[in-house]
Structure 1
């Protein structure tokens, strides 16, 4: 089912070695230029580095500060027995309404031809079933 692919590449060839072989001269030139720049202007580069660090610290404590929002804890006295019973009653009402709507949809589905009133009834019943399903 799965065909094996055999590769005859040299295991010493890696991505790094290939990139180094292709672009190594450019990396050497950039490294030499950076060393030359560092040796010519060490105080300037050190001062620039310190300036960037201070600017970063100032920005992190002023502009980029994330303020924590206080979360209000609302304590609600609950009665688990009453809440559970009300949930059971609500579920029962939804089931009862779903069964009634199903009967309406089935009776309209048996008709060979629907008039305007039947179409509106069917549309409203299907909308109500969708609303019950989403709740």
Structure 2
């Protein structure tokens, strides 16, 4: 069988903590440079932010708007007589199968001791009855 491999790593060490440990100084330098740049030219960055938000708003309602899909599917010609007969035939088949399964379940439950085959047969019959019952709803 497969042997378990045990790791002796500290559970407090995560991917974020390792990346922070390795590259944290570089991120700090970049963050300080960005703060100084934004602090030096605040009106310019505020204007850029407003411009980008306005551009995003305009593009979301013009260019990136997906046209509504029109329902161009061809209408099927439905013959209500054929549809009704098929439903009647399906219901008749379900009733016949339900009666057969009910008779089978009654005969199996009348036994005092069930064999493995009887148990499997009873289980499959009850499953089929529940599926038929669900299709009727």
Query: Normalising TM by the smaller chain, what interval?
Result: 0.5 to 0.7
- Mapped to 2, the partners of 1:79 and 1:48 lie a distance apart of 61
| Structural RMSD (CA) | 2.8
Unaligned runs of 5+ in 2: 1-44
State the Cα distance separating 1:46 from its structure 2 match. Answer: 8.2
State the Cα distance separating 1:66 from its structure 2 match. Answer: 2.8
Residue equivalent to 2:54 = 53
Task: Say whether 1:80 aligns with 2:83.
Answer: no
**TM-score in terms of structure 2 length:** 0.54
State the Cα distance separating 1:125 from its structure 2 match. Answer: 0.7
CA pair 133-45 structure 1, distance change in 2 beyond 3 A: same
Residue equivalent to 2:119 = 119
CA pair 49-101 structure 1, distance change in 2 beyond 3 A: same
Task: Say whether 1:128 aligns with 2:118.
Answer: no
State the Cα distance separating 1:116 from its structure 2 match. Answer: 1.4
**TM-score in terms of structure 1 length:** 0.55
Secondary structure in 2 aligned to 1:98? helix
Unaligned runs of 5+ in 1: 1-43
State the Cα distance separating 1:87 from its structure 2 match. Answer: 0.9
CA pair 48-116 structure 1, distance change in 2 beyond 3 A: closer
- Mapped to 2, the partners of 1:57 and 1:110 lie a distance apart of 75
